Amino acid sequence: MAIGWALLGTGRHPGNNVLPQIQHASDTKLVAVLSRDQARGEEFAKKHGFKRAYSILKDVLQDPEVDAVYDATPDGLHAKNVIEIARAGKHCLIEKPLGISVRECSEAIKACMDHKVKLGVVFQQRHDPVHQAARRMVQEGKIGDIVLVRGQLSFPRRPEVASRSQSWRADPKMRPGGVVMGAGDHVYDTLGYLIGREITEVTAFTDNSSNTEIPNERVAGMMLKFAGGCIGWAVASSKTPFGQQPFEIHGTEGSIRIHNTYSFMTGSEEDARLYMELQNSGGKSVQYFEPAECFRLEIEHFNKCIQNNTEPMTSGVEGMRAQAITESVYESARTERVVRVSEVLSA
């Protein structure tokens, strides 16, 4: 059974990154798109293969062909939209963050539980075959006990977001943070997924250039402590366009390095192929991977969760935990202390 999808938002990200992939996702039917501008919505729908366009969310949710909703609206609308979508009996796949506070995330999760609909949060790189292969190697003990991990996302400031005064990102009600909330959460989510461990403590430093309540950092360094004692180092930067680095996993018996992952955001090395290096007592080996359509894989995974009544890989609870780590990062940078993620979750 094909799942009928509606898309909320007609911005650059869904148009350039998401739809080119999910247009040919299996068991997927593109039904409706939501835009505040009806004419823009109709043009977008025609270009990307949706049946119709709406300018009011209520009308989207009353469409009988819509089974699930992909939310690509500004961050501050996510939790509110989830609650409305759930009340309409539709399943929800939400671009991260699930909400701009742990409280909002909790309310969104409750709404989906109350109305018995699926809730997923888009951390699409978990579906990348190279990340899944690295995770299997870790689980199989190929590099021993994991003691150190590192990840970095560095990319240029795009013209449309170069100034906080030029977009919805300037509104603290829509995104109360800078590069950590915009991209840093991808780094620590991927690191946690690769080694299968939760982050328990955070120490962070940023270049936040003002003393206001709303951080506007463009560079952030985050020391992470994982369950079991592994130490991690995560970096996010929108000021270093040539600072792209691989993800690394180091164990007591070997190391794994992943190159050119997230290249759609960061660009790639001189050798642009996606590849993974494994080094241990047996020597060094390299495995190459075809570029993956991670957004398509995310949609197809969510379709199966609806069809088989299973939980998404990145559930609402996972999304709330990611937001708790983000809040821990900001609290640590503000107070110059180590912050326990459990304290933020229970606050």
Summarised one tens digit per residue, pLDDT across range 225-241 is 999 999 999 999 999 88
Give the closest residue to 67 by CA, choosing from 334, 318, 307.
307
Q: How far out from the chain centre does Cα 282 lie?
A: 35
pLDDT at 266 over 60: yes
Task: Check: CB of residue 87 under 8 Å from CB of residue 107.
Answer: no
In angstroms, rounded to a whole number, what is the distance separating the alpha carbons of residues 99 and 312?
17
Q: Which two tokens stand for residue 307?
A: 């069809």
Phi, psi (degrees; rounded to nearest 5) at 296: -65, -45
The whole-number pLDDT of residue 162 equals: 46
Residue 175, pLDDT score: 87
**How many angstroms separate the CA atoms of 216 and 175, rounded?**
10
The C-alpha atoms of residue 340 and residue 269 are separated, in whole angstroms, by: 36
| Residue range 288-338, pLDDT digits in tens | 999 899 999 999 999 999 999 999 999 999 999 999 999 999 999 999 999
Average pLDDT over residues 257-284: 89
**DSSP β-ladder status, 28-34 and 52-54:** parallel
Residue 216 has a pLDDT of 84
Cβ-based burial of 182 (10 A; exposed 0-12, middle 13-18, buried ≥19): buried
Mean pLDDT computed over 101-128: 97
- The token pair that represents 177 in the structure block: 């943070």
Average pLDDT estimate for 124-132: 96
Which of 49-58, 195-204, 269-278 has the weakest average pLDDT? 269-278
Cβ contact 152:234 at 8 Å: yes
d(CA 295, CA 303): 12
Q: Hey, what are 304's tokens? A: 């199966």
Predicted local distance difference test score (pLDDT) of residue 176: 87
Q: Average pLDDT in the 17-22 region?
A: 93
Poorest-pLDDT segment among 24-28, 83-87, 174-178, 182-186: 174-178
Q: What is the mean pLDDT of residues 127-153?
A: 97
**Domain range summary for the chain, segments of one domain joined by +:** 3-124+296-315, 126-293+325-346
Task: Note the pLDDT of residue 44.
Answer: 95
209 pLDDT band, cuts 50/70/90, is low
pTM given for the model: 0.93
Name residues whose C-beta falls within 8 Å of residue 43's C-beta, 6 or more positions apart in sequence.
Answer: none
**Residue 40 pLDDT more than 70?**
yes
Q: What is the CATH number of domain 126-293+325-346?
A: 3.30.360.10
- As a whole-number percent, the residues of the chain with pLDDT over 90 amount to 82
Amino acid, res. 7: L
The proportion of the chain whose per-residue pLDDT surpasses 70, expressed as a percent, equals 95
What is the distance, to the nearest Å, from the Cα of residue 52 to the centroid of all Cα atoms in its chain?
28
Residue count of the chain, please give it: 347
Please tell me the distance from the alpha carbon of residue 227 to that of residue 317, in angstroms, as a whole number. 17
Q: Which amino acid is at 269?
A: E
DSSP 173: T
Q: Which amino acid is at 72?
A: A
pLDDT in tens, 65-107: 999 999 999 999 999 999 999 999 999 999 999 999 999 999 9
Residue 147 pLDDT exceeds 80: yes
Architecture of domain 3-124+296-315 in this structure: 3-Layer(aba) Sandwich (3.40)
Q: Is the pLDDT of residue 157 over 80?
A: no
Q: Does residue 163 carry a pLDDT above 60?
A: no
Average pLDDT over residues 15-23: 93
**Using CA atoms, how far apart are residues 30 and 32, in angstroms rounded to an integer?**
6
Cα–Cα distance, 194 to 291 (Å, whole number): 18
Q: Can you give the pLDDT at residue 173? A: 84
Give the pLDDT band of residue 170 (cuts 50, 70, 90): confident
- Taking 60 as the threshold, does the pLDDT of residue 183 lie above it? yes
Please give the backbone phi and psi of residue 337, each rounded to the nearest 5 degrees, phi first. -145, 165
Place of tokens 């009988």: 64
Residue ranges of E strands in the chain? 3-8, 28-34, 52-54, 68-71, 91-95, 119-122, 146-154, 199-206, 219-226, 231-237, 247-251, 254-259, 274-280, 283-289, 339-340
Indicate the SS3 state at residue 198: coil
Of 38-47, 131-140, 209-218, the one with minimum mean pLDDT is 209-218
Question: Do residues 146 and 251 make contact, with C-beta atoms less than 8 angstroms apart?
Answer: yes
